[in-house]
Amino acid sequence: MKDIKDIRVACVGCGVMGGALVRAMAKVVGADRITVSAASYGEASSFAEKTGVRAAKTNADAVSGADFVFLAVKPAYIRDVLSEIRPFVRKDAVYVSMAAGVTLKTIGELRAVRIMPNIPATVGEGMVALCSTEGVSSDDLSIVKTLLSESGRVDEIPERLMDGVTAVSGSGPAYAFLFIEALADAAVRFGMPRKQAYVYAAQTLKGAAELFLNDGRSVSELKDAVCSPAGTTIEGVIALEESGFRAAVINAATAAFEKSVELGQK
C-alpha cells in the first residue's frame, strides 16, 4: 500500500464543495501535495494563497503526475473536463468524481470512485458516501477514505443507493437550514432577538443529532423521551403531523432524488 504522505492529489475545481474537501485532505497529506485548478488561474491562485496548496494554470497541469484526481465540477461540465484531462492523467491514477447524478459508467474509467459529500464537510462534520469501479483496488479505496476522513463520516455504499444519498445527505443540509430558520422565526415571534434565536435553533438541531448518533436509542424512543404526557412537546408534535411535516420532508427528498436520476440520464 502506498504511503499516504507520498501520494499526489489533484482537484479540478475549488469552489465551496471542492474547496472544503481540499482543506480536509490537506490535513491528511499536507497542502504541498495537493494541486488545484479552477475556471481561471486567478481563482485557483487565490485559493492556494489561503490554503497553502499549489495552483495550476490549467486543468492539464493540475492532473499531470497525480495519483488521485478529484473532479469538483458541475454535472453539466463533467464530460468536457474528462475529455480535456484524460491525455494528461497517469494510467494508474484514480479518478474521484463528486458530480451529482453522474454515474461510474458515465465517468467511463476503469479506476474511478464516485462520491457524494455535503456542505457540513466545511467544518469537518460532513457525510460522504462513496462507491467505485472494480478496477479500484482495496488499497486505493482505503486511501480515498483516508483522504476524506477529516471531512466527516465516510461510508461505502452500492452505486444503486447514490441517488438516494444525494437526495438525503447531499441536499439534506438545505432542508435542515430551512427548519432552523423556521424554528428561529418562531423564537422571534415569542420575543427572542433574531441572532440569539438562530443560535438556540441551530444548537438544538446539532444537539439532537449528536444525541441520536451517540445514545443508541431509536429516533422514536428519543422523541418519546422528550414528549411528556400532557406536556408542551406532544402538542408541538401533533401540530407538525397535522401540517404534513413528514410528508413535506419525504416529498422534498423525492424531488431531489428524481433530479439526481435525471442528471444521470443526460
Q: Which strands form 34-37's sheet, in the order they lie side by side?
A: 54-55, 34-37, 9-12, 68-71, 94-97, 112-116, 126-132, 152-156
Helix axis angle for 194-215 and 172-189, nearest 10°, is 130
CB 138 within 8 A of CB 2: no
Mean pLDDT, range 182-195, rounded to an integer: 98
Model pTM above 0.85: yes
Query: According to the model, what pLDDT value does residue 1 have?
Result: 65
Mean pLDDT, range 212-220, rounded to an integer: 96
CB 41 within 8 A of CB 99: no
Query: Which residues have CB under 8 Å from 3's CB, separation 6+?
Result: none
Query: According to the model, what pLDDT value does residue 26 have?
Result: 97
Let me know if 95 is exposed, middle or buried by CB neighbors in 10 A (0-12, 13-18, 19+).
Answer: buried
Query: According to the model, what pLDDT value does residue 263 have?
Result: 86
CB 253 within 8 A of CB 168: yes
Q: What b/e string do you get for 164-181 counting C-beta neighbours within 10 Å, with b at 16 or more? A: bbbbbbbbbeebeeebbe
